[in-house]
Amino acid sequence: MIDPKRLNHAEDLLDELNRRGDCTAVVEKAHAAYHNWKSALQAFETLKADQNAATPKRKPTDVEKNRLAELSDAVKTAKRFVDDAEQAYRTALLYVPNIPDPKIPTGADASGNTVFRTPSRPVPEFAFEPQTHDSILERLNWIDTTRTARINGSRFVTYCGLGARLKRALIQFMLDHNTHAGYHELSPPVLVNRTSLTGTGQLPKFDADLFHCTDTDYWLSPTAEVQLTNYYQGELIAEASLPIKLTGYTPCFRKEAGSYGRDTKGLIRLHQFDKVELVQLVKPETSDAALLELLNTACGILDALELPYQVVTLCSGDLGFSASKTYDIEVWLPAQNTYRELSSCSLFTDFQARRANIRYRGDSNTFVHTINGSGLAIDRTIAAIIENYQLADGSVSIPKCLDRYMSV
RNA sequence: GGAGAGGUACCCAAGUGGCUAUAAGGGGACGGUUUGCUAAACCGUUAGUGGUCGCAAGGCCAGCGAGGGUUCGAAUCCCUCCCUCUCCGCCA
């Protein structure tokens, strides 16, 4: 949520927001609803002050009672107006995206993204035609999509034998890496409530992407960002405990509605996947540096795995709804002959903190800035390892840093 | 899932329809007096916050788990929900 006071200068706000694409409609709606609420509030508060002044300390006489009853009716009517107006204004505000960082490039879509860090190492050269990760994994019996399709349908995977061990090893390795970088490990539930999803910005706008339990208001979390960021929901944090750095492994669930036909094979786009997440809650003045630190932690995992990657800065038009600045880490996939997103590291400024009401006790009580990124997506990392580490004889080797996690 | 008990400030807790919650009383914390130094004793401080109006000083409104309702008036009565605790059932 943006600072509602910015609606007082809606033209300036629009100048900044329209770098994403046309936001006029949502801003004008929020702007109108905001002023409607304020005038309703002022009318109510005046009446309420009258009522408070007129209410006697003892039982009122019948004459007084008539006048008090009138006042009471007027207050109730005014209150109803305020409540409706407030509901409308808050809802409208939930649909206004975050303000893009002034320093990021302006662009309409992914073609406007710029390279922030050039490839970390040369891409591997193969003396043979590199195979796709799914064909290799299937042949090695490290995954079984045929049986999984019977149990779950498409966009699910079962890891088998060494494949399952590799997944477990990667989770372990990444969590160790992140805790060594100073992140506190949490292992949260994967069912979350509506309030938390609203706090981090998935709801109300993006409910079509989420799995929702039909008989309760529980949702399957699409990313541990939800659980880790909302861990401090509603809290007033002591200044001395900032920055808070959290990491956690969870399964993640996404409907992937609207991506029919895209990445149907392999591990790139699944309804359920595994991810190790990095989250930071920081003081506003340190958030730019903290984003880079978090990015470096995520990149450090790929360095250790010796996988080639590049980092791009998302342009204004490609930015997610809640983010003000995002760096995508893209790993090289030889069979696709391209870099694919493996982690998205974003600064949300106070946008999520306002929605989730996370503040810290400083000179005044201020909203923290939130930052998160994958560190890393497990299944896509497996895809990258398999494709980059494949050998001429059809087998694959395993990154050296995983040896101690893969041994029996 | 069933039966019961709770949720008031940093913690415990009194308040059960009107006397603006300066929220009684403890505890803890902090400051002071006293002291060679500690402890004790005594004195004091410990409501913070959100919103709104205002250049400001300051005014006003809302806050007793959350949301509704009853009432001229609700921490207090009623309803729904959340959470904690005890017992039973079920289960990993």
Query: What is the model's pLDDT at position A377?
Result: 95
Let me know whether A36 and A174 are in one domain: no
Residues 25-44 of A with CB under 7 A from strand B: 38, 41-42, 44
What is the domain range of residue A77?
4-93
- Compute the distance between CA of residue A396 and CA of residue A379 in angstroms, rounded to an integer: 16
Let me know whether A70 and A153 are in one domain: no
The reply to whether A52 Cβ lies less than 7 angstroms from strand B is yes
Least confident of A152-161, A204-213, A331-340, A398-407: A204-213
Residue A99 lies in a domain: no
Let me know whether A284 and A364 are in one domain: yes
pLDDT tens column, A217-259: 889 999 999 999 998 888 878 787 889 999 999 999 998 876 7
The reply to whether A67 Cβ lies less than 7 angstroms from strand B is no
- pLDDT at residue A180 above 90? yes
Helices marked H in A306-363 — which ranges? 351-356
Rounded mean pLDDT, A356-375: 85
| A12 CA → B34 C1’, Å | 63
Query: What is the model's pLDDT at position A358?
Result: 87
Let me know whether A308 and A344 are in one domain: yes
Residue whose Cα is closest to the C1' of B59: A49
Higher pLDDT, A152 or A309: A309
CB contact at 8 A, A185 and A277: no
Query: What is the model's pLDDT at position A116?
Result: 96
CATH value at residue A264: 3.30.930.10
Let me know whether A59 and A169 are in one domain: no
- pLDDT at residue A374 above 80? yes
CB contact at 8 A, A132 and A265: yes
The reply to whether A148 Cβ lies less than 7 angstroms from strand B is no
Let me know whether A88 and A201 are in one domain: no
Query: What is the model's pLDDT at position A53?
Result: 81
| A58 CA → B71 C1’, Å | 14
Residues 105-134 of A with CB under 7 A from strand B: none
Domain count along chain A: 2
**ipTM of the shown complex:** 0.80
Using 50, 70 and 90 to split pLDDT, how confident is the model at A365?
Answer: confident
Q: Final residue of a domain: which of A93, A118, A149? A: A93
Place of tokens 């010796």: A306
- Compute the distance between CA of residue A360 and CA of residue A40 in angstroms, rounded to an integer: 31
Residue A98 lies in a domain: no
Looking across all nucleic acid strands, the nucleotide with the smallest C1' to CA distance from residue A41 is B52
Rounded mean pLDDT, A279-298: 95
List the nucleotides on chain B closer than 7 A to a protein CB.
18-20, 49-53, 60-62, 68, 72-73
Let me know whether A361 and A253 are in one domain: yes
Query: What is the model's pLDDT at position A127?
Result: 93
Least confident of A46-50, A132-136, A275-279, A310-314: A46-50
Share above pLDDT 90 across residues of chain A, in percent, rounded to a whole number: 68
pLDDT averaged over every residue in chain A: 91
| A67 CA → B19 C1’, Å | 22
Residue A24 lies in a domain: yes
**Both tokens of residue A159?**
């890891």
Query: What is the model's pLDDT at position A363?
Result: 66
Let me know whether A326 and A183 are in one domain: yes
Rounded mean pLDDT, A391-406: 94
| A226 CA → B79 C1’, Å | 33
Residue A203 lies in a domain: yes
pLDDT tens column, A306-354: 999 999 999 999 999 999 999 999 999 999 999 999 999 999 999 999 9
Let me know whether A204 and A352 are in one domain: yes
Query: What is the model's pLDDT at position A351?
Result: 94
Using 50, 70 and 90 to split pLDDT, how confident is the model at A64?
Answer: confident
Let me know whether A88 and A141 are in one domain: no
Let me know whether A279 and A332 are in one domain: yes
Place of tokens 């590049």: A310
Rounded mean pLDDT, A43-62: 81
- Compute the distance between CA of residue A52 and CA of residue A71 in angstroms, rounded to an integer: 10
| A75 CA → B78 C1’, Å | 22
| A218 CA → B82 C1’, Å | 14
- pLDDT at residue A136 above 80? yes
Rounded mean pLDDT, A21-31: 94
A369-377 and A218-220 beta bridge pairing: unpaired
Looking across all nucleic acid strands, the nucleotide with the smallest C1' to CA distance from residue A216 is B81
Looking across all nucleic acid strands, the nucleotide with the smallest C1' to CA distance from residue A86 is B51
Q: Model pTM?
A: 0.92
Using 50, 70 and 90 to split pLDDT, how confident is the model at A147?
Answer: very high
Helices marked H in A261-311 — which ranges? 287-305
The reply to whether A74 Cβ lies less than 7 angstroms from strand B is no
- pLDDT at residue A408 above 70? no
- pLDDT at residue A69 above 80? yes
Let me know whether A158 and A227 are in one domain: yes
Rounded mean pLDDT, A195-202: 91
Q: Final residue of a domain: which of A93, A125, A156? A: A93
- pLDDT at residue A280 above 80? yes
The reply to whether A71 Cβ lies less than 7 angstroms from strand B is yes
- Compute the distance between CA of residue A152 and CA of residue A259 in angstroms, rounded to an integer: 18
Nearest CA to A6 out of A394, A358, A354 is that of A354
Looking across all nucleic acid strands, the nucleotide with the smallest C1' to CA distance from residue A65 is B72
How many Å separate Cα A170 from the centre of its chain?
22
Query: What is the model's pLDDT at position A185?
Result: 95
CB contact at 8 A, A289 and A361: no
- pLDDT at residue A119 above 70? yes
**Both tokens of residue A135?**
């064909």
